[in-house]
């Protein structure tokens, strides 16, 4: 038992420098618990810090411990829900207010051109000190309120006959690009702070 604990501690210490602090994934009214589980898995595997879930239909319990114990969520996340911070909000307004208080910049994702500024995923910069990345509902997409409250909208280019990618798939692709940029930035910043070798 003791050695299992220390193996977990060791792994946690090893991944710590690669974690992206102040990177939050926001799911706006997801319908499918399997998608929630997959997103938790992606968030954990790619090293984002937290997930916020806007749950206007009150389908989830308030407490994080209870959310992560939901059978489907736990199973589909392959137990990543044990290691991932999840917080729920009653509405988009409440979540935006919370992020504003904590000085987060919000950006939204959509297969469509939305809001004042739009970028192709790999053609912009994501090294904002505090960043919240919003993903929309499986059928309605992202809300106008989230779009209006965000700095810009990001799209993954698509070349098929269908309108959009699956929600969880999108989080994997988007987080891959964002965490890659943030890790490179963190490493550069750390090197610069270390100063020249004596």
Give residues in contact with ligand SAM (CB under 6 A).
Answer: 109-112, 135-136, 138-139, 141-142, 155-156, 158, 163-165, 167, 170
Nearer to ligand SAM, 61 or 156 (CB): 156
Q: Specify the DSSP element, H or E, that contains 168.
A: helix 167-194
Nearer to ligand SAM, 157 or 196 (CB): 157
- Residue 23 CB, shortest distance to ligand SAM, in Å, is 16
- Residue 86 CA to its chain's centroid (Å): 10
Closest CA to 109 of 45, 145, 156: 156
- Residue 163 CB, shortest distance to ligand SAM, in Å, is 6
Nearer to ligand SAM, 83 or 176 (CB): 176
- Residue 80 CB, shortest distance to ligand SAM, in Å, is 19
DSSP string, 4-69: HHHHHHHHHHHHGGG--TTEEEEEES---HHHHHHHHHHHHHHT--EEEEE-TT--S-SSHHHHHH
- Residue 165 CB, shortest distance to ligand SAM, in Å, is 4
Cα–Cα distance for residue pair 106/142, rounded to 1 Å: 13
Nearer to ligand SAM, 120 or 187 (CB): 120
């Amino acid at each position: 038992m003791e050695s299992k604990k220390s193996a977990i501690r060791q792994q946690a210490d090893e991944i710590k420098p690669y974690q992206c602090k102040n990177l939050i994934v926001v799911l706006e009214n997801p319908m499918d618990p399997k998608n929630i589980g997959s997103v938790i898995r992606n968030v954990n595997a790619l090293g984002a810090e937290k997930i916020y879930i806007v749950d206007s239909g009150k389908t989830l319990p308030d407490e994080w411990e209870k959310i992560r114990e939901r059978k489907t969520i736990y199973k589909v996340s392959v137990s990543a829900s044990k290691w991932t911070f999840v917080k729920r909000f009653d509405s988009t307004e409440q979540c935006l207010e919370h992020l504003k208080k904590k000085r987060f910049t919000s950006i939204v994702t959509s297969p469509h051109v939305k809001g004042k500024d739009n970028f192709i995923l790999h053609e912009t910069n994501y090294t904002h000190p505090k960043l919240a990345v919003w993903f929309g509902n499986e059928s309605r997409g992202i809300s106008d309120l989230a779009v209006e409250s965000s700095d810009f909208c990001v799209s993954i280019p698509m070349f098929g006959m269908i309108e959009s990618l699956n929600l969880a798939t999108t989080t994997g692709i988007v987080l891959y690009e964002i965490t890659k940029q943030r890790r490179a930035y963190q490493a550069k910043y750390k090197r610069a702070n270390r100063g020249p070798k004596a």
